Structure 1
C-alpha cells in the first residue's frame, strides 16, 4: 500500500504547497533545536515555552495560544516543566520510561503535542502520533501492529509506532524520496489521510462498534471545540458537590453572570451513574444544559433510562454523538489552519 500511495505523495512533493511546507519545517526545526538544546532547556523561559507551544501543529485549534500557555504554566509550574522536559529529552532511563513519566507528570500537553515536540527535536528517532496519522496507518494496513484506536499511548506503544514509521521511511527511500526522516513520514501520512482510500468505497458508512472511541480524546475534542467557540473550557471539573464532570464550558454574559454547559463522555460502565452525575450537575443554577456524549447505541440506552425522570432535568439533557464531535473538531481544525495561514490571528510568540 505504501508504494501505491507514493504516487499520490509524489504529486504533493512536486507542488508549490510542499515548497512552502518545507520552508515552514526548516523554521520550526531551527527554533526547536535552539530552544531545546541541553544547556538552554535548564533555564527555559516562559517566552521560550510559548514559542514551543505556538510552533506546534497540534495547538493550531487554540486561537488564543497565550491562554493555553498560562494554563500549562499554572497547572505545572515552570520549574517542573524544565525538569520534566530535560528528563524526557536527555534523561538516562530508557526512553519508554521517560515518555511515560512525562505524560503522567505534565498536564495540558496531549500525545499529539508531545510526540510532535519530540519529532521536531529529533526527526530521525521520533514520529508524530495524532488522529490523522492513526487514520492513515489504518488505510495502509497497520491495524494489527499498532493500537490505532488509542489516543494516549504508552512509551512501549510509541516505540512500536516509531519502528513502523522507520519502516515506512525505508519504503519511501526505495521509492526515490531521498533520505526521509520521520517528519517526512508524517507529511506522507497526512497525504494518505487527505487522499483517503485509493479505491472508491461508495456511500456505505461502516458502523462504529459500541464503545469504539477513546474517552480522553473525545473529552479533549469537546474542550477544544468550546475554546474555539469562545468559552472558557476545562476538563475534569468539579461542577457541584459530588459531581466531577468531563468537560465544562463557561461564559460570562455582561452583568447577568456566568452560564455553563456540562459534558459527560460515556464509553462504558454504569449508565445509571452517568445519569446521576448529570442530574447533580443540572441542579446548579448556572448550568444551562447537560450533554451526554457517546456513540449512537449507548445514547439510545441513555434515552431509555431517563424516561420518567423529572421534567426539569430532561429539558436540560442533550445528546451528542461522538461521530459528530469528531467531524466538528476536524472542521474547526481546518478552519483554524486557514485563519492562521491568513495571518489574521497571532500570538506574541509568533
Structure 2
C-alpha cells in the first residue's frame, strides 16, 4: 500500500458537522446512510455482513480494523450489507492463520467505500450526544454544498422499510432434509448463524421471503415459526405483522429475534419507537427477570418497543431488560408459546450466555402434542 496515494476524505453529518480522514486504499467514492457506531472489539466481518445494518454507515470504536483479515466462513449473509465504513486505523496487513484474505480485498470485492484516519472517538461522542442521523462519506472534499443537497434527499431511517432489500426472493431450505423438526422462518434480514443454530439442534428450516402470506408458511406444516432479525423501521412491515398475528393464533411455538421481536410486539398492539442511538456492540448487559441472572449480549438495533404499553398489556410479560437504560430486551406471551428477545443469542458474546433461548424454542416444540421427538 502506497500511503501517499490515499485521498483526503470527509464525514458530513446531516446537521452540517464535518470530520476529516483518508480513503481506504486510495479509492475515490461517496456513500450515504444513517451513521451509527458499534463498540465491539472483534467481529468486524460479521458486522459488515449482517443484514440488520443495511443502509447504515458503520463507525467502529475499536482503533484497529482489519488486523486479523477475513475468512469466508465468517459472513452472516451473501455479502457486505453496510453502506459505508468509518474507522481510525485501517490495517492493510493482517496476521491470522485461518484468514484467507485481507479486509481491503474483501471490501473491494464487495464494492464498499471506506475511510480511515478519522477521529472516531470525537465522532462517536458527537453521535452519542446528538443521536443517530444521516451522513455521507466522500472524497469530494471540495463539493461540500453539493453533498449537503444530496444528503438532504436521503430518507430518514424512521419510517423506512428495508426488509425487502435483504430478504430472500424465493423460499429455500437449510439443515437436514429429514430432520425431525420443521421450522418455518420468515426472512426479514436473517443471519446465517441463526440458521446454523437452528439446524444444529435437529431442525430442517424453510426460509420464506419477508412478504410471504401466512397460508404459504402453514402449508408446509411446520412445528414452529421463527421471525428473524433485519434492518429498518418495523412499523411499515404490514405483511410481516399480519403474518405474525396468524402465527400466534396457531398455538405453535413462535420465536422472534430483534426485528422479529419488534414485529411480535406490533402484532400484539405494542408501539415501537426510534432510539436516540440504539444498541450496537458485543458487550451489552441484560437481566433475565425469570432467572435473576445477568447475560452479556450482542446487540444491533435502532428501534425498541414501548415499555409502559408492554407492562400494561394483559397477555404479555417482560422477561428481559437492558441494564444500561432499562429498555425492554425480551417478552413472552402468558398464554401462548410465543417469546422474543431484542438481542442476538447466536452471536456468542458471552460466549454462551444466551444460547439457551434456542433450547427454549426447541423444548416448546418438543412439548407440543403434534411433534413426536425423543
Shorter-chain TM-score above 0.5: no
TM-score, normalised on structure 2? 0.30
TM-score, normalised on structure 1? 0.31
More relative contact order, 1 or 2 (CA 8 Å, 6+ apart): 1
Q: Which has the higher strand share?
A: 2
Q: Which has the higher helix share?
A: 1
